[in-house]
Structure 1
Amino acid sequence: QPPRALATGKEKVNQDTIYIPLTVLLKSRSPCVLKYDFTILMGRTNPMATDFCHFKQSFSLCWSSVVDVLEALEKLLRDFAVPLAKVSGERLVELSHVWENGWLKAPPVTGFLSVLENWEEVLGLVLRPGQRFKGEGGIEAAAIHIQCFWRRYLARTAYLRHCQRKWAVGTIAVSWLMHTQMRHVGKALQARRFRQLENFRSRAQHLAANWKHIQSSKRTIIHIPSLGYSQSRRMNLRRYDILQNIQISRLCDIRGRSFPYNLTAIYIHYCSLYVKKQPLEDTLRTLSCSTNPFPRLFFQTHNMCLSTLLKYSPRTLKRIKHLIQGKQAYIVGGVAHVDDLAVADDLGVPILAPEPAIAQLYSTKSGGRRIFTEAEVDLPPGQGDIYTLNQLHGTLARLMTQNIHVQRWLFKMDSEHGGRGTAYCDTCHLSCYNWALQECHRCGPELQNTEWIQESVLLRYLDEVPEWLARYAQPAKTSCYPNWTCFLKTFLRQGGVVEAYPPSESVTCLTVDLLLEPGGEVTMLSCGDQLQGSCQLEAIGSTVPQTSVQQETLKSICMRVGQACLQRLIVGYVSVDLTTFLNRKTMEQKVWAIDLDLTYSDQLAMTQMLLMMTGGTLNCRTGCLEVPMPIQEKSQKQPPVVNRYAVIGSHLFHSNLSMLYHNVFFMVCKAHGIGFNMKRKQGTVFALYDGSDRCTVGMITVSEDLRGALVTFARNLSVIHQEISPSKMQGETNFKELIKNIEDVLQMTVKNKVCEYGNPGIKSMLIKHSDS
């Protein structure tokens, strides 16, 4: 301890005396040196306490700085109501030096607590929530804290409300600007479409008034095989690009006209990838026609219809304008779309088709039934425009009551074609069906149609039809709709038709293609019996000409349907599907009209190819394919015209065909004798649709009789399948189903011939011919 005079500063220090600072002595003292600790109770130091007095006396030289730290420490302890704090005097002095030198102007709480011996206990008390409000000035501190948080809450709430209003103002402004722009664009688009529609109607009137003159003068036909389906259906179709190119045989429309040099055909080719000229050139080489260049336009797309692509292709439109300049021209499209009007308006040519709105209205299954009803032709018992489940159950129960002998009922979607949107359900699975038959037989045919008899049957049907459909109804093509639930959901969304399947074991379907001329005439262009694949409700081919219905009956039905279409401003190419069967009661042939397509059909395109290859004419009045035969020598007495029969397959698919290039495919066919004999006007012709995929082809076989054409067709399919299908890689194909269907047709033909001639020898001869 330094001398008292040095501590008090009243006397001078002797020069022989050496002063050592207290901090140095504290650091270098031995462990036996006493500690300067004292206690603070309830945040206040007892100035009379012995330990505090000893500490104060020991550090009297730097007491001025120690007092400030001590007062701050006491205030901290009082604020947090610390009951007991043990202070280390040495650490308190060190902290005071740090504070005094300006190294730390405001030590944190942990800095103050570091001078305590029981700092862990005090720290836990200080960090306890709400402890500050228990100490000195706690009420005021709590009030200040509450006011601080409340003011911050009000300020932040006001700020967030301001930001939200600012964002809302910006959003409303942008939305209003976009709404205004969209409204202007919508009005401009609506006005443009209205102008296009008016121009379409004006050109249609001119086309109708000058149709005969146009047919006899120089003209250009622009073929646009566009499939203007809805977006959802386009996205769900497989190989959509190939489907839009199946009608490449439209090019054969230039065959054998009165003035062939006056007719030019422009065909818009659809392809998802850019390929070389091989597909069209191979097709033209197969057709054995001239190699005059045809405009072929390729696009890269994402399942967009051809008219839409052409609409957004100004260079293509400019090229077409150059080709048709100074000529009479019109467009022959596919499935109607609103963009057809835009393309026609840009080119300034009419369209040989009805308005898109009219086409969409009457190209549905329900619209077709309205046309058939107006034409007064026989159609299956049924009902269209069904959109609800209750309507479906009630309509089906009523139809089943009125047509008790129908054993299968069909459900067809309005917007689908072929077997994609068709389901069926058999009445044999209905538990009350046998009871209903017994009731009808018991009452007899006179009372069968009375109201009181049908009411009891109708009530039983209404009770059992919902469960019957849920358990036994199934889609025709499970690849499109795997079960009845998925099918029913789409059926009710699009609307559809309930229709009776012909009550017969032998049912034949046929397709007739009509041209409804703008001048008001109806012309039959093609007719053929359908060939079904795995799905019995989907046609993948046909036999031309048809042999199922008498020509007078067929012509009468077609003329009435054609006139009914013309009354509704439907012009252009129309395809009518009919079904024929034998009535069990009267043993008379019945013909029902089942479908109407307002488009250029695949059968008609393949028929054009058939007529070009044979150089013949399809006489729909007599139902004969008349082919002129070349006379090699004058001495030979050969009839100038003979009849031929053909089998057309437009949707032949085999996944293994993609492994063969077209030239290799032709070599394989040639090795097996598959080809066309131009002298005899019979053989096989292929239509190639795509040069990159190559999985889908078309095939036509021509023979002297129908049986020979069927046998040749089945043999070609069998040979091709065996050549391209190893045992371990059969591939996906519809060849087998079509071959089986042809075999059934041949067996039915044998039975019919045996019944006609009644001669076992003829039967064996026919069977032998079919086996060959």
Structure 2
Amino acid sequence: MEALDLSSSKEANKFQFLQAQLRDRWESIEGLDNSEYDILVVPSLSLDRRELLKIEGFLHYEERLLFSLIRLQSPKTRVIYVTSQPLPPIVIDYYLQLLPGIPFSHARDRLLLFSTYDSSTTPLTQKILERPRLMERIRQSLRLEKSFMICYNSTTLERDLSVQLGVPLLAADPDLLYWGTKSGSRQIFAECGVSHPDGSGLVLSAEDLAEAAAELWERQPSLERMVVKLNEGFSGEGNAMLDLKPLQHKAPGCASHKERVAAVCDRFPFLNFQAKNETWSNFSSRIPELGAIVEAFIEGEEKRSPSVQGRITPTGEVEILSTHDQILGGSGGQIYLGCYFPGDEAYRLQLQEIGLRVGRNLVQKGALERFAVDFIAVRQPDKTGKPQWDLQAIEINLRKGGTTHPFMTLKFLTNGRYDMATGLFYSQQGCPKYYIATDNLQKDRYRGLLPNDLMDIIAHQRLHFDTSTQTGTVFHLMGCLSEFGKLGLTSIGNSHQQAKDIYNRVNNVLDEETKPTAKILSSVSSAAVN
């Protein structure tokens, strides 16, 4: 099925009409405990295919929005969840059993699952659009006047699906996606007066990239490294490091501008790429398609990568949801691996303040729903010699991300609240909650584990989330285990240390259970034997 031409005034008006309905319904939607609503979840990673292929098991990332099933704790709410391939029943059962205060069978009756039965790399939303009979079944299952749609990220595909189904889309208009790119982010930081690394505007060729890098080097002659970023890269997979130390003989003052540009060009094939098996040939071929920027690399002995998450409601209000310290890896330390919640108390209130400034700028541009701002924090002495953290904003994401599902899981499991005054999250009993989360607990020894095997281990070793203490671990990406040896988890505690201890225990148990000599747990129940 071809995408709709939303440049036509008729289709554009229809989308805006749907979005206006979303604004009108917002107060009722937020009061889901007593309202009848259908939530259509389309967890499509509608991102550049060639960049997405750099992430192992990305197709299973459709499972990350399964936290949305927690919405079923509202007895009148229904969830319609669509995936590329059918989800294992044991995974669905696992999430439904986490629901506080709702009978399993009642929640299961209000969950409708659809699948395209298509494991290709095509975005899920496109798969749905190409299947008119499936679309019709989805449409018939919805109470259209009481429905809205959520997604991982919003593109023209999600907008087309919204219009064809007649369901409002709780996400940013794809026309605003530029503000979530590397160059768009830098423009907003400049408009808001937010500190960010020196760098370039958008370039569309390797030649212009070399010019921009040489100009940056001339502005900062002492610069040791630069970061080259594809404009639409994500999770750090589109980043590469340019080391200037081998070019010191071409430093500003020692050579002409033309010579420095040529020297930079010569170094491009030797970039330190963050993605595995990336090459300059492939990377440079993406520049005309996606664009690129170059930024000064922030040096520092003590360095962190915090972030702030927020949302813009359909009524134009900006809300701060959380702060995190991100866990980064890769050869240059720029690949997102996981996060700690909350962000360090030394700067989390400052993160909130910057998040509000960026959010208000996005409101003026017409943005909606989730946004996040990533930073580099370097500890250095102030004018009095006292250590302090310097925050440099590096990126805005106009979508859900790796920090979205762990926080929402915590929120829905505990029914707690985020406190702007402290930057802490409190349970209903007033206890502050902490967690460590990852999408990348990955080891070769985990390959071959089925979701059922994981459930056996969770039950036998008591690794599950305990609703009575509101501590423990919630697992996701279970579909990645068998093929990729990869698992996601969120370990929740009443302190940073307790969360780390819970996480480490999970890690240790999985390592022990996957030793070649480990005793295999029996998954056959006595009832089945009888």
The corresponding residue for 1:680 is 469
Q: CA RMSD in A?
A: 3.2
| Per-residue deviation, 1:423 | 0.5
1:268 to 82, 94, 98: 82
Give the Cα separation in 2 of the matches to 1:690 and 1:194: 42
The corresponding residue for 1:711 is 501
User: Is the Cα contact below 8 Å between 2:211 and 2:261 reproduced in 1?
Assistant: no
Written as runs of structure 1 = structure 2, the 5 A alignment for 1:233-272 is: 233=51, 238-253=56-71, 260-261=74-75, 263-271=77-85
Counterpart AA for 1:579 = I
The corresponding residue for 1:474 is 272
Greater CA deviation, 292-301 or 222-231? 222-231
In the alignment, structure 1 residue 278 sits paired with structure 2 residue 90: yes
| Per-residue deviation, 1:523 | 0.8
Counterpart AA for 1:277 = P
Give the Cα separation in 2 of the matches to 1:276 and 1:644: 30
The corresponding residue for 1:556 is 353
Written as runs of structure 1 = structure 2, the 5 A alignment for 1:460-499 is: 462=260, 465-466=263-264, 469-470=267-268, 472-479=270-277, 481=278, 483-499=279-295
Counterpart AA for 1:200 = F
| Per-residue deviation, 1:283 | 3.0
Counterpart AA for 1:511 = S
2:337 to 527, 540, 544: 540
2:11 to 192, 196, 203: 196
Report the CA distance shift for 1:263/1:373 in structure 2 as closer, same or farther (over 3 A): farther
| Per-residue deviation, 1:253 | 4.3
| Per-residue deviation, 1:285 | 2.9
Written as runs of structure 1 = structure 2, the 5 A alignment for 1:191-230 is: 195-216=10-31, 217-230=35-48
User: Is the Cα contact below 8 Å between 1:279 and 1:688 reproduced in 2?
Assistant: no
Report the CA distance shift for 1:333/1:195 in structure 2 as closer, same or farther (over 3 A): farther
| Per-residue deviation, 1:573 | 1.3
User: Is the Cα contact below 8 Å between 1:286 and 1:686 reproduced in 2?
Assistant: no
Larger CA Rg, structure 1 vs 2: 1
The corresponding residue for 1:335 is 153
User: Is the Cα contact below 8 Å between 2:227 and 2:297 reproduced in 1?
Assistant: yes
Report the CA distance shift for 1:428/1:455 in structure 2 as closer, same or farther (over 3 A): closer
The corresponding residue for 2:527 is none
**Count of residue pairs brought into register by the alignment:** 504
In the alignment, structure 1 residue 623 sits paired with structure 2 residue 420: no
User: Is the Cα contact below 8 Å between 1:196 and 1:341 reproduced in 2?
Assistant: no
Counterpart AA for 2:84 = Y
Report the CA distance shift for 1:193/1:416 in structure 2 as closer, same or farther (over 3 A): farther
Give the Cα separation in 1 of the matches to 2:176 and 2:39: 23
**SS state at 1:600 partner:** coil
| Per-residue deviation, 1:347 | 2.2
The corresponding residue for 1:508 is 304
1:668 to 457, 465, 471: 457
Unaligned ranges ≥5, structure 1: 1-184, 437-453, 629-639, 728-772
| Per-residue deviation, 1:290 | 4.3
1:365 to 175, 182, 188: 182
2:214 to 392, 397, 407: 397
Give the Cα separation in 1 of the matches to 2:113 and 2:328: 32
Return the structure number with greater strand share: 2
Report the CA distance shift for 1:513/1:252 in structure 2 as closer, same or farther (over 3 A): farther
**SS state at 1:397 partner:** helix
Higher relative contact order (CA 8 A, sep 6+): 2
Deviations 1:580-601 (A, max 9, x none): 1124564442111111121122
Give the Cα separation in 1 of the matches to 2:433 and 2:313: 28
User: Is the Cα contact below 8 Å between 1:223 and 1:266 reproduced in 2?
Assistant: yes
Report the CA distance shift for 1:191/1:320 in structure 2 as closer, same or farther (over 3 A): closer
In the alignment, structure 1 residue 659 sits paired with structure 2 residue 459: no
Report the CA distance shift for 1:549/1:223 in structure 2 as closer, same or farther (over 3 A): farther
Report percent identity of matched pairs: 20
Counterpart AA for 1:497 = I
Give the Cα separation in 2 of the matches to 1:625 and 1:201: 35
User: Is the Cα contact below 8 Å between 2:6 and 2:12 reproduced in 1?
Assistant: no
| Per-residue deviation, 1:420 | 1.6
Report the CA distance shift for 1:458/1:641 in structure 2 as closer, same or farther (over 3 A): farther
Report the CA distance shift for 1:287/1:522 in structure 2 as closer, same or farther (over 3 A): same
Report the CA distance shift for 1:523/1:577 in structure 2 as closer, same or farther (over 3 A): same
| Per-residue deviation, 1:656 | 4.0
Counterpart AA for 1:506 = E
User: Is the Cα contact below 8 Å between 1:429 and 1:472 reproduced in 2?
Assistant: no
Superposition TM-score, scaled by structure 2 size? 0.85
Counterpart AA for 1:538 = I
Report the CA distance shift for 1:333/1:670 in structure 2 as closer, same or farther (over 3 A): closer
| Per-residue deviation, 1:411 | 0.5
Counterpart AA for 2:235 = G
**SS state at 1:512 partner:** strand
Return the structure number with greater helix share: 1
User: Is the Cα contact below 8 Å between 2:98 and 2:413 reproduced in 1?
Assistant: no
**SS state at 2:315 partner:** coil
Report the CA distance shift for 1:192/1:311 in structure 2 as closer, same or farther (over 3 A): farther
Counterpart AA for 2:391 = V
Give the Cα separation in 2 of the matches to 1:214 and 1:709: 32
Counterpart AA for 2:359 = G
The corresponding residue for 1:760 is none
Report the CA distance shift for 1:515/1:298 in structure 2 as closer, same or farther (over 3 A): same
**SS state at 2:316 partner:** coil
